Amino acid sequence: MSGAPVAGTDIRAGAGNAGDPIFEARNVSLGFGGVKALSEVSFSVRKGELFSIIGPNGAGKTSMLNCVSGRYRPTSGKVFFQGRDITGMTPNHRAALGIGRTFQNLALFGHMSVLDNIMVGRHHLLKNNFLTGALYWFGGARREELAHRREVEEIIDFLEIQHVRKAMAGTLSYGLRKRVELARAIALKPDLILLDEPMAGMNLEEKEDMARYIVDLNEEWGMTVVMIEHDMGVVMDISHRVMVLEFGRKIAEGSPEAVLADPRVRTAYLGESDEPEPETAAAAREVA
């Protein structure tokens, strides 16, 4: 919980605070055969930070996140979590260490209820196994399940999904599924939560809700957030720091303002608007 920025007028108050790095990537490269998805990317995320990764499609953002969560193992380079080298660790081991994530394309357990989906997030916190679970009333499984149910209900309250807790996850609308996925990731009680495009495909109102949840997670729940997002308005508003990837390379990193001002970022991602315009305008005038 330490290092979480104190809520104030400027929600980016914590940006300058040099918290200990909770996560660090050193010279991470990732190749699939001849295709280089990432080359020599290094960055670190400080405890309590809200860190965004942006970049054009295919820049390697999700690949980077997969290297953090363990789905991909970097071809070279190392990743550290809380000072530990986790490069060779399996995803399930990393979850137990405290890394949670959501997916870009929804990855809920479609035939389970919302409640069960979120309870799966408690997997590494629950102690009961197939034996004590099968005996349920004897051996403490019931007590444990009920205690965790209480905590899961808090997450359900926080994300305002009480009305669908018994519904099958696969039957929910897109916006709700995104929220349930976030709930499931929160249920892990992660120190570091990775959000892959949490606002993709949402309308303005849903985006505002989601942004509020993410800021709350960061400030009140004390989670360090790494987020991939294309909505620049949201990224600039809530991030403490931003990293920009292009063709698998890091081209900029820093506060949202600094990144926004970087000319390379403007050409690569945001679109250059100053130079070509007079020329095209002139050309247009000539044609006319």
Partner 1 sequence: MASTNMIPCGDFKTSYAADTTIFPTVTSRNAVILGILLLAAAPLFLDAYWLNLLIQIGYLGIAALGLNILVGFTGQISIGHSAFFGFGAFSSAYLSNSYGVPVALAIPLAALMTTVVGMVFGVPAARLKGLYLAIATLAAQYILQDFFARAEWFTGGVAGTMAEPFSLFGFAFDTDQSFFYVALAATVVMYLLATNLMRTRDGRALVAVRDHYLSAEIMGINLTKYRTMSFGISAFYAGIGGALYAHYLQYVSVEGFTILFSIQFLGMIIIGGLGSIMGSLMGTAFMVLLPEVMQALTDSLAGTSLDRALNLKDSLAFLREMAIGVAIILFLVFEPDGLAHRWRQIKAYWKLYPFSH
- Nearer to partner 1 by Cβ, of 124 and 266: the residue is 124
Q: How far is CA 116 from CA 120, 146, 249, in A?
A: 6, 13, 39
- Nearer to partner 1 by Cβ, of 84 and 111: the residue is 111
Q: Tell me the closest approach of the beta carbon of residue 37 to partner 1, in angstroms.
A: 17
- Nearer to partner 1 by Cβ, of 126 and 215: the residue is 126
Q: Tell me the closest approach of the beta carbon of residue 100 to partner 1, in angstroms.
A: 8
- Nearer to partner 1 by Cβ, of 134 and 283: the residue is 134
Please compute, for residue 120, the number of CA atoms within 13 A of its CA located in the half-sphere on the CB side: 18
Nearest to 239 by CA among 53, 22, 104, 59: 53
Q: Tell me the closest approach of the beta carbon of residue 151 to partner 1, in angstroms.
A: 11
**Do the Cβ atoms of 52 and 196 come closer than 8 Å?**
no
Q: Tell me the closest approach of the beta carbon of residue 13 to partner 1, in angstroms.
A: 31
- On the 0-12 / 13-18 / 19+ scale of CB atoms within 10 A, 48 is buried
Instruction: With H, G, I as helix, E, B as strand and everything else as coil, classify residue 31.
Output: strand
Binding site for partner 1 (CB under 8 A): 69-71, 90-92, 95-96, 100-101, 103, 107-112, 116, 119-124, 126, 128-130, 132-136, 141-142, 145-146, 149-150, 153, 166, 168, 184, 188
- Nearer to partner 1 by Cβ, of 91 and 201: the residue is 91
- Nearer to partner 1 by Cβ, of 39 and 224: the residue is 224
Number of residues in the chain:
288
Q: Tell me the closest approach of the beta carbon of residue 204 to partner 1, in angstroms.
A: 28
Q: Tell me the closest approach of the beta carbon of residue 147 to partner 1, in angstroms.
A: 9
Distance CA 55, CA 41 (A): 13
Q: What angle do CA 162, 175, 167 make, to 5 degrees?
A: 40
Q: Which two tokens stand for residue 234?
A: 């949201």
Distance CA 11, CA 30 (A): 34
